[in-house]
């Protein structure tokens, strides 16, 4: 596995040496244009998994934001596509070997907490892993990190503070919440959402948690920003649809893009 990770990192190193990586999720892949960007499709990076879902482009770009070299991953692979969790987090491990220190994860989510509305941007303060698995299961990659990584401050409080500050300066409202990851691909039932709320979840989605775990294992600092695309099942009076998710994220993309552009120099 380490050899595969190192090969992919060597391929990406030809694009540059970023210290910040940003993963753009469902409907968000176009929010962050880079200056002078060099791109590689997932399929052209040795060992990278192949995404299959609509709205996920599947490319890695390296370029500059305010003079800072940044890597942007447009699209991701999900557990529900059939990939093992180790494959889902493969890109994150590659970025760690490449020298990335800060990982920004974005996603689309359903709002569980009362008061959340479609279009809200929410900084993840913590997560609940209900995927039924952990990407670190199996032999520990000791070159990357320890067997039993601490997850106390998985979502870096200082990075969150800077994100709130930048959002405030831009007049963008950001909230905070706990994200619960389910496997999908079916959306939740109303009973599941009531259960998740009782567990302490504010948001529900099908990504981000594996990547955050792998990033913490490898010592990366993590900031995660969720775009609430819909009220979760039963909270919303209407059925859920992937099209709705894509439409709301596209509508919110401009604001998220402005936030990321202003924030990146400060990460």
Q: Residue 222 Cβ, how far from ligand HPA at the closest point, in Å?
A: 19
Letters for 40-79 (x = contact with ligand HPA by CB under 6 A, - = none) are: ----------------------------------------
Q: Are 224 and 106 in contact (CB under 8 A)?
A: yes
Q: ∠218-220-224 over CA atoms, to 5°?
A: 125
Selected from 156, 188, 192, 202, the binder of ligand HPA by CB under 6 A is 188
Letters for 189-218 (x = contact with ligand HPA by CB under 6 A, - = none) are: ---------------xxx------------
Q: Residue 136 Cβ, how far from ligand HPA at the closest point, in Å?
A: 23
Query: Per CB under 6 A, does 232 bind ligand HPA?
Result: yes
Cα distance between residue 187 and residue 123, in whole Å: 22
Number of residues that bind ligand HPA (CB under 6 A): 13
Query: Per CB under 6 A, does 9 bind ligand HPA?
Result: no
Q: Residue 266 Cβ, how far from ligand HPA at the closest point, in Å?
A: 28
- The residue whose two tokens read 């520990």 is 140
Annotation marks residue 81 as catalytic: yes
DSSP string, 83-135: --HHHHTHHHHHHHHHT--EEEEEEEEEE-STT--TT-EEEEEEEEE-SSS-T
* Cβ-based neighbours of 82, under 8 Å, separated by 6 or more: none
Rg value, the chain, Cα: 17
Annotation marks residue 80 as catalytic: yes
Cα distance between residue 74 and residue 60, in whole Å: 6
CB of 29 or CB of 229, closer to ligand HPA = 229
Q: Are 126 and 45 in contact (CB under 8 A)?
A: no
Query: Per CB under 6 A, does 108 bind ligand HPA?
Result: yes
- The residue whose two tokens read 């775990």 is 213
Q: Residue 165 Cβ, how far from ligand HPA at the closest point, in Å?
A: 27
Annotation marks residue 78 as catalytic: yes
Q: Residue 205 Cβ, how far from ligand HPA at the closest point, in Å?
A: 4
- Beta-strand ranges (E) seen in 167-232 are 174-181, 203-205, 221-231
Q: List, by residue number, the catalytic residues.
A: 26, 56, 78, 80-81, 108, 206-207, 230, 242
Contact residues for ligand HPA, defined by CB under 6 A? 108-110, 187-188, 204-206, 229-230, 232, 240, 245
């Amino acid at each position: 596995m380490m050899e595969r990770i190192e090969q992919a990192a060597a391929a990406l190193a030809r694009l540059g040496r970023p210290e910040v990586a940003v993963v753009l999720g469902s409907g968000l892949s176009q929010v962050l244009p880079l200056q002078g960007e060099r791109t590689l499709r997932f399929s052209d990076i040795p060992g990278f998994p192949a995404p299959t879902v609509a709205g996920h482009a599947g490319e890695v770009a390296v370029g500059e934001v305010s003079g800072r070299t940044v890597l942007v991953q447009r699209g991701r692979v999900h557990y529900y596509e059939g990939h093992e969790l180790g494959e889902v987090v493969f890109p994150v491990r590659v970025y760690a070997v490449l020298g990335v220190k800060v990982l920004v994860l974005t996603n689309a989510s359903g709002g569980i907490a009362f008061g959340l509305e479609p279009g809200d941007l929410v900084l993840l303060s913590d997560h609940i892993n209900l995927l039924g698995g952990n990407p670190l299961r199996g032999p520990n990659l000791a070159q990357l990190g320890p067997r039993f990584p601490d997850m106390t401050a998985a979502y870096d409080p200082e990075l969150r503070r800077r994100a709130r500050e930048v959002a405030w300066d831009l007049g963008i409202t950001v909230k905070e919440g706990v994200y619960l990851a389910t496997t999908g691909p079916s959306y939740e039932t109303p009973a599941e959402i009531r259960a998740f709320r009782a567990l302490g979840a504010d948001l529900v989605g099908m990504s981000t948690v594996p990547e955050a775990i792998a990033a913490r294992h490898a010592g990366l600092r993590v900031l995660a920003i969720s775009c609430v695309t819909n009220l979760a099942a039963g909270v919303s009076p209407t059925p859920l649809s992937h099209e709705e998710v894509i439409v709301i994220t596209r509508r919110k993309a401009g604001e998220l893009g402005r936030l990321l552009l202003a924030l990146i120099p400060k990460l």
